[in-house]
Structure 1
Amino acid sequence: MPKQQPEQQAPPVQRLRVRYAKRGRLRFTSHRDFSRAFERAVFRARVPMAYSSGFNPHPRISYAGAAPTGSASEAEYLELALAEVVVPADVHAMLDEALPSGLDVLEVVESSGGSLADLLEASRWRIDLAVDRAVAEAAVARFLAADEALVERMTKKGMRSFDARGAVVSLDLLPAAGPAEGSDAGRTSLDVVLRHGTPAVRPDDVLRGLATVAGLDAGESPLMTRLAQGPLLESGDVGDPLASRA
């Protein structure tokens, strides 16, 4: 008796790109846990998803450029493949209602084609440190003057050594939020633009590079927040991957 073939699913008729945020305690949500929560939200919201073919069909959701676990983010992206044409604003409202607070949908637009992942060339990060501003300023200057900053990190392929300096497009201190003797004394915020590559250099790698090159102690629990993710512009800034819908 011939082996039964799995049912073939119809191709998607529409693709939507979604920008979402990870805030508060939900920054500790792993990518695997988020993908499960998002698939449940899609089901609860009754979004007309397209499904993969095969014996175990699953909703066609493409994730791109996920932030490391423990990092907050205002610029996470994914793409939905749909079986029906919908109004993006309706999907936005349905998903935001179905997801827990802290996993917040910020924008939903129709895909303009091409690869979403290819548009995510760089990220802008804010790193909040319990470090005196003068100490951080000196460390940043030494880091930027260095030819390289070799760091090590455990990856899926084992311990790897790579250059954290080479991925840094810019690294600056953000203006102090208050008087030098005020409540923000002893705290500093860094603004860093990182070029995406392989292996991906993360903001915690930059902190390790600052420690290696300049001896900077980042203190306890630095808070890392991705502010933007998208194409790397000639100015060195990070563009909006959803801006072009033509």
Structure 2
Amino acid sequence: MPAMPRQDPPQQPPPVQRLRVRYAKRGRLRFTSHRDFSRAFERAVFRARIPMAYSSGFNPHPRISYAGASPTGAASEAEYLELALAEVLVPAEVHRQLDESLPPGLDVLAVVESPGGSLSDLLQASRWRIEVDVPAADAERAVAAFLAADEVSVERMTKRGLRTFDARGAVTSLAVVAPDEAAADGTSTVVELVLRHGEPAVRADDILTGMTQLGGLTPGGPALLTRLDQGPYDEATGEVGDPFAS
């Protein structure tokens, strides 16, 4: 008997609404990998009974688009994703339902309707705070050495193996700032950084590596990296904007 031809999977209906979500990774949850977060978020969507649109194919999955995820170990106040929905919902109600369904430390900060276009294209730069256990004078010397260099080569292990790349070109501003109540212990030196996004993707820990190489920093413990903002980059002011305002 001849084999029956394989039937194509049913096509899912298109989404009727798209929502953009800003969320934070705080405390111990900063060690959550992107894969672990995506699993936790999908469980939260299921618990909250959000009517998701699904992809077509033999293994449909909820249509969630992640953009500009921070590296494992970094805290963040500016992580973004987009949901495609099968029903039109009130963004404020989705905000409440998702925040109640996620564990403390993975916190939903805002939910808005998508105006269309690519969310990833709006995430052009990030503003970071680096809290490092070194004297402020040492950090200032390392910052000055980094900014004075035409190129700063750093190495990092990636999925494709060990890569060497220039970290200097991605930095638009780097400075030691006065510590505030947000510092981990009140004694850390705080460095603020603005990074352009590009290829290869330069991370805040790469900048710290470059500062350590050039300035001979010897931190007393691991640095705390926190992404404060992520969004469009203003060439005139050097500031990182709000992607939800675009």
Unaligned runs of at least 5 residues, structure 1: none
Alignment partner of 1:19: what SS? Answer: strand
**Offset at residue 227 of structure 1 (A):** 0.2
**Offset at residue 175 of structure 1 (A):** 1.3
Confirm or deny: 8 A CA contact 2:127 2:230 kept in the other structure: yes
Give the Cα–Cα distance (whole angstroms) in 1 for the partners of residues 89 and 212 of structure 2: 50
Confirm or deny: 8 A CA contact 2:130 2:191 kept in the other structure: yes
One-letter amino acid matched to 1:40 = R
The equivalent residue for 2:84 is: 81
Confirm or deny: 8 A CA contact 1:15 1:79 kept in the other structure: yes
One-letter amino acid matched to 1:194 = L
One-letter amino acid matched to 2:239 = D
Report whether the alignment pairs 1:189 with 2:190. yes
Confirm or deny: 8 A CA contact 1:207 1:218 kept in the other structure: no
Equivalent position to 2:238, from 217, 236, 239: 236
> 1:151-192 CA distances to partner (integer Å, 9 max, x unpaired)?
0001111111011111101001111449xxxx845x200000
The equivalent residue for 1:103 is: 106
The equivalent residue for 1:119 is: 122
Report whether the alignment pairs 1:67 with 2:70. yes
Alignment partner of 1:242: what SS? Answer: helix
Confirm or deny: 8 A CA contact 2:10 2:57 kept in the other structure: yes
One-letter amino acid matched to 1:222 = A
The equivalent residue for 1:150 is: 153
Give the Cα–Cα distance (whole angstroms) in 2 for the partners of residues 60 and 189 of structure 1: 38
Give the Cα–Cα distance (whole angstroms) in 1 for the partners of residues 179 and 29 of structure 2: 27
One-letter amino acid matched to 2:5 = P
One-letter amino acid matched to 2:36 = D
Give the alignment's TM-score, normalised by structure 2.
Answer: 0.94
Q: Relative to 1, partners in 2 of residues 1:62 and 1:177: Cα closer, same or farther, differing over 3 Å?
A: closer
Q: Relative to 1, partners in 2 of residues 1:134 and 1:168: Cα closer, same or farther, differing over 3 Å?
A: same
Unaligned runs of at least 5 residues, structure 2: none
Report whether the alignment pairs 1:222 with 2:223. yes
One-letter amino acid matched to 2:228 = L
Aligned length: 239
Give the Cα–Cα distance (whole angstroms) in 2 for the partners of residues 123 and 177 of structure 1: 20
Give the alignment's TM-score, normalised by structure 1.
Answer: 0.94
Confirm or deny: 8 A CA contact 1:20 1:75 kept in the other structure: yes
> 1:12-45 CA distances to partner (integer Å, 9 max, x unpaired)?
0110000000000000000000000000000000
